[in-house]
Amino acid sequence: MNTLKTEFKIKVVSVCMILAIITLLLGTLSSCNKYLVMSYLKGNLYHIHNNKTKKSEIILTNDTLILGKEYKLKEINIIDSPYYKPKKTK
C-alpha cells in the first residue's frame, strides 16, 4: 500500500516538473523576439532594443512605429540599409 502511494507521488511530481519546464520554455520562446521602440531618429530610422537579450538595433522602415511599444521584427517592414542586415531564413 505504501509503495503505491509513493509511486503515485513520484508520478505527480514528475508530471508537475514537466509542465513547469514546458511553461518556462514557451514563455522564453514567445517573448524573446520583441523589440521596444526606444527613439525616433531622423528620416525613417528607429532605435529599437530587446530587453531580454540586451541587443539594440538601428532600423530603417516606412512603417510608423510608436515610441514605447514592443514589436516583433516580423511585424516591421524593414528596409535593407547599412545599419541593419536582417538574418536570412532558409
3-state SS record for the chain: CHHHHHHHHHHHHHHHHHHHHHHHHHHHHHHCCEEEEEEECCCCEEEEEECCCCEEEEEEECCCCCCCCEEEHHHCCEECCCCCCCCCCC
Do 6 and 23 share a domain, yes or no? yes
Among residues 41, 43, 42, 64, which one has the least CA distance to residue 56? 41
Considering the domain boundaries, does residue 90 fall inside one?
no
Residue 44's pLDDT is: 85
Q: Is the same domain home to 47 and 72?
A: yes
The boundaries of the domain holding residue 12 are 1-31
Q: The dihedral of CA 54, 47, 35, 32: what is its sign?
A: negative
- 51 and 21, same structural domain? no
Q: Which pLDDT value is given to residue 32?
A: 56
User: Are 48 and 22 in the same domain?
Assistant: no
User: The pTM is what?
Assistant: 0.57
**Per-10-residue mean pLDDT, the chain, length 90:** 77 80 64 82 88 87 91 87 61
